[in-house]
Amino acid sequence: MQGSANLNVMVKAARIAGRSLVKDFREVENLQVSAKGPGDFVSKADLAAEKIIREILTEARPTYGWVGEESAPVEGDDPTRRWIVDPLDGTTNFLHGLPHWAVSIALEHKGEIVAAVVFDAAKDEMYTAEKGGGAWMNGLRLRVSGRHRMIESIFATGVPFGGRADLPMTLQDIARIAPQCAGIRRWGAAALDLAYVAAGRYEGFWERSLNAWDIAAGLLLVREAGGLIDGVTPNTDPLEVGEVIAAAEPIFEKFASSVRG
C-alpha cells in the first residue's frame, strides 16, 4: 500500500516511538512510575515516546495543531489540521509486563479523521488507514467480520477500575451481552480493540468515558474496513461524547441494541 506523505510521516513516528517503548518494555521493572490518579499511570517511557512523536510530526508539519495525552493541546497556525496522539495506549498493561499496548496517531482535518496509525510494537503489527483508501495491517487489506449471529460473535470492551462512576453501568452491559455471544474480551487498550474490529478479530467493541486520543485512529480503521460507528447514545459523534459502539455491519444493529439495553 502506498500512503500519502502525511501517513508516511505518521508511520515513521510510530515506528521510532515503538522501538523506544519496546526497549523500555524489556526493562519494565526498572521504570520510574508516578501515579496520575487511581489506575492511571505515566512512565518515563510514555513521556519519551510522546516527545519522539511530537518532534517528528512537528518537524514535518510545523503548522498543524496537537492534542496528546501527556501534554497540553497546541493550536497550530493551520487551524484546520491537528494531530491526535496517544503515545502509549495500554499503559497499565505495559507497566505490568503484558505485551498488549500500542502507539496511536490520528490526523484530523476540519473535524474529520483523515489518516490513522495504530502500531502494536510488541507484535510488530502496523495498522494504517486513510479516508477513502481502506484499512491495512502490514500491507494486507483489512475487512471487518462477516458474522451476523450474536451467539457466534466475540465483543470487546473496557471495564472501568474500582471507584469510577461508570463501573456499574459497564457491568450491566456485560450482564446483558454475555449470554447472547461467544465471549467478551477486556484487553485494556481501546486503540487495539478498534484495530481488531477492523481486522475481523472481534465482531464489535463498545466503551464509555473515553478520550479522543484513545479512539481517534481506531475509528477510521473500522470505517475504512467496512465497519459501522456510533455513540452509545444514537447518532452522536464518539470523539465528542467519549463513548463508542463499533461493529461489523451484519451484527451492528443487534449488538448496538444490546449495549443500549
Mean pLDDT of 160-187: 93
Annotated binding residues, written as ranges, equal: 69, 86, 88-89, 214
Location of each CATH 3.40.190.80 domain in the chain: 150-260
123 — phi, psi (to 5°)?
Answer: -105, 0
Annotated binding residues for Mg(2+), written as ranges, equal: 69, 86, 88-89, 214
For domain 150-260, the CATH class is alpha beta
- Band (pLDDT 50/70/90 cuts) for residue 41 is low
Is the CB of residue 204 less than 8 Å from the CB of residue 175? Answer: no
Q: For residue 89, give the H/E element and its range.
A: strand 81-89
- In the prediction, which pLDDT does 172 show? 96
Mean pLDDT of 228-234: 97
| Cell representation of residue 160 | 472501568
Which tens digits make up the pLDDT trace of 101-159?
999 999 999 999 999 999 999 999 999 999 999 999 999 999 999 999 999 999 999 99
CATH code of domain 5-141? 3.30.540.10
- In the prediction, which pLDDT does 162 show? 76
Location of each CATH 3.30.540.10 domain in the chain: 5-141
Question: Rounded to whole angstroms, what are the CA distances from 27 to 50, 52, 95, 144, 181?
Answer: 19, 19, 10, 36, 38
- In the prediction, which pLDDT does 163 show? 77
pTM score, two decimals?
0.95
Indicate whether 46 pLDDT > 70.
Answer: yes
